[in-house]
Amino acid sequence: MKKKPRVAIQGIKASFHEEAAYKFFGKEIETIECNSFKQTCDKLENNEADFVIMAIENSIAGSLLPNYTLIREYNFAVTGEVYLPIQLHLLALPGVKFEDVKVATSHPIAIRQCVDFFDDFPQITVIEGNDTAACAKKIKDEQLKDTVAIANSLAAELYGLNILERRIESNKKNFTRFLILEQNKNEQEKPINKASICFQVGNHVGALSKVLQIFAELNVNLTKIQSMPVLGKRNEYYFYVDMEWKEMENYDTAIRRALKYTVNFNIMGEYLKNDKV
């Protein structure tokens, strides 16, 4: 019997992390629930999980900066990516009507993405929770008849809640990008056309520009650049870069040339581009 992949997620079942895991791996997985992103990394490092799926950026909230540091410090391999549309609904116990609602609860980021909706209903008190799905579960467990959760349809299905209002998010084109992490940089069986790298450059005029020019000359498209300060060192930064290419030879050449102008260069992962939302 084929063993189900063990996927560590931040949050509980029916969270957006599990929804993203389903989208990437299919539903035949064993979900390892974790209280924090660091705990997901510990599970992978201790062989209690085969993969971590980790949110890295949201089209509204921006990058999750601490997660870049986690990936680098644990030295995990980025082996895939998945984009998930973030669709937020109001979930309540069966029989509860909208006029009964006094409290709405969810993760702070989810709440921020629905401020326009709640501006129209000042009688509803909005309270922050630690996880969208956990807020839905609490409504079921405690039978809260005056409270709604802001969560996804997966949470409604799992915890037996009704959807009172659909798609209350302010931006209907909101999505989150997740990375797939593994312990080792295994040889990819499928073709690769995207990479995530990290490096530092010297603190002098044109240092970063020189590296970026190398990729431009070889038609390697840089899809994201994120800088992070080096802890305890003034004016020193890590640069995290995502890139795509059409010709593998161009990418290989660009990497070799860039090595001459960088320090602490690390290819965090090479994988197949997967930007379908």
Distance CA(234)–CA(231), nearest Å, equals 8
Residue 232, pLDDT score: 86
Whether pLDDT at 188 is above 70: no
Q: How distant, in Å, are the alpha carbons of 18, 80, 89, 157 from that of 113?
A: 20, 26, 11, 22
Tell me if residue 271 falls in helix, strand or coil.
Answer: strand
Domains of the chain: 6-86+174-182 (3.40.190.10), 89-165 (3.40.190.10), 194-271 (3.30.70.260)
For residue 275, the one-letter residue type is: D
Distance CA(136)–CA(162), nearest Å, equals 11
Structure tokens at 195: 């990479």
pLDDT band for position 270 (cuts 50, 70, 90): very high
Whether pLDDT at 94 is above 60: yes
Nearest CA among 177, 161, 131 for reference residue 33: 131
Residue 109, pLDDT score: 87
The mean pLDDT of the chain is: 94
Tell me if residue 203 falls in helix, strand or coil.
Answer: coil
Residues 6+ away with beta carbon under 8 Å from 78 = 71, 179, 180, 181, 196, 268, 269, 271
pLDDT tens profile 152-169: 999 999 999 999 999 999
- Strand locations in 59-187 (E): 62-63, 77-85, 89-92, 103-106, 125-128, 147-151, 162-165, 175-182
pLDDT tens profile 202-242: 888 899 999 999 999 999 999 999 999 998 888 899 999 99
**Block residue for tokens 């995530």:** 196
Whether pLDDT at 187 is above 80: no
